[in-house]
Amino acid sequence: MKVDRIETIHVLPRWLFLKVHTDVGIVGLGEATLEGRSLTVETAVKEIERYLVGKNPLEIEKHWQTIYRGTFYRNGPVLSSALSGVEQALWDILGKHLNVPVYQLLGGKVRDKIRMYGWVSGEKTGSYVEDFKASVADGKFTAYKTCPVPACQAIESPAVMKQVVDNVRALREAAKSHVDIGVDFHGRCTPALSKRLCKKLEQFDLMFVEEPVLPGDVDAMKDISRSTSIPIAAGERLFTRWQFQELIEKQAVAIIQPDVSHCGGIMECRKIAAMAEARNIALAPHCPLGPIALASAIQVDACTPNFLCQEQLTLGEGYLKKPFVVQDGYVQVPDGPGLGIELNEQYIDTKCFAGDWETPLFHLPDGSLTEW
């Protein structure tokens, strides 16, 4: 079996799907979405294609090492996302070739179902609390994440901090005690501001606070972790095990959040999780992306002992022939070969676009740019 070509497809709302075609008819699915830069990633995928065409797709580790190390320059969101999407597709091919799920090839599942968490708006007051109550009442999810932190200045006013606290309080009061709530700071806060906010939010028994500071300052992350009883989560903007190493070794977080479409792919995510397991750090993969990325993450979740909870933006409704189904907060581990999914090609044809999705820009009152 040899790789024949790589096909890329930009799919609304902002996703980049890819298909690795082989000369025996097996097609592997991957997702290399990088918000606001998917056209650039597509170019990187085409550069990978030049190497991969004619090669045996089953030699996944060999290809990963060659693509990652062979061009001198490593890491970064573009190259890592392109590699991640291609690597997912190679695992899909191997699973389909052997007629087993990917998780079986990674040692077999350690759980029968995967806990998922939903999203709830929290940046503005309004109907979001009622929407949250309705969602909790229907029993679909038992965990949610919200982002109540607005575009921030280095040190914010008491009024802004009070609004953040009030929004989280409204959700906590609306939820039953078995419902977990995570709060995403989205890297919008300085370490000083995050410390103040975490202290005020401790009363709500949060599942975690995510990205209290921007990636890269591990010492600040560790300092925040030591200053609060709330578990700290981070890692969505880190690439490969080497960038996760310091975060894990210093135990700067309680939860790591590699993104299977950015960190290097399925096996790399599993390796990062194993590193974290040795430091008693939980895994909650980042995935505000499409259904192929979610399917890839679920394969990792199924075979990873220190897995905690899985983010999702879509369960694949419309995009997949058989979307994932959440019941009592969980989806069953899929038993189909490869990633265990089939695309609904007719529906996807109606969702194709040019790939020119723009990252939203956030500004402070003085007109200066701040974090998304």
Active-site residue set: 186, 286
Separation between Cα atoms, residue 283 and residue 277, nearest integer Å = 8
Three-class SS of residue 6?
Answer: strand
What 3-state DSSP class applies to 215? coil
| Of 219, 228, 269, the residue nearest 247 (C-alpha) | 219
Q: What is the H or E stretch that residue 62 is in?
A: helix 60-69
Structure-token match 């820009």, residue found: 361
DSSP structural state of residue 92: H
138, 139, 141, 145 alpha-carbon torsion, rounded to 10°: 60
User: What is the sign, positive or negative, of the torsion defined by CA atoms of 322, 42, 76, 94?
Assistant: positive
Beta bridge partners of 15: 11
Q: How far apart are CA 152 and CA 363, in angstroms?
A: 9
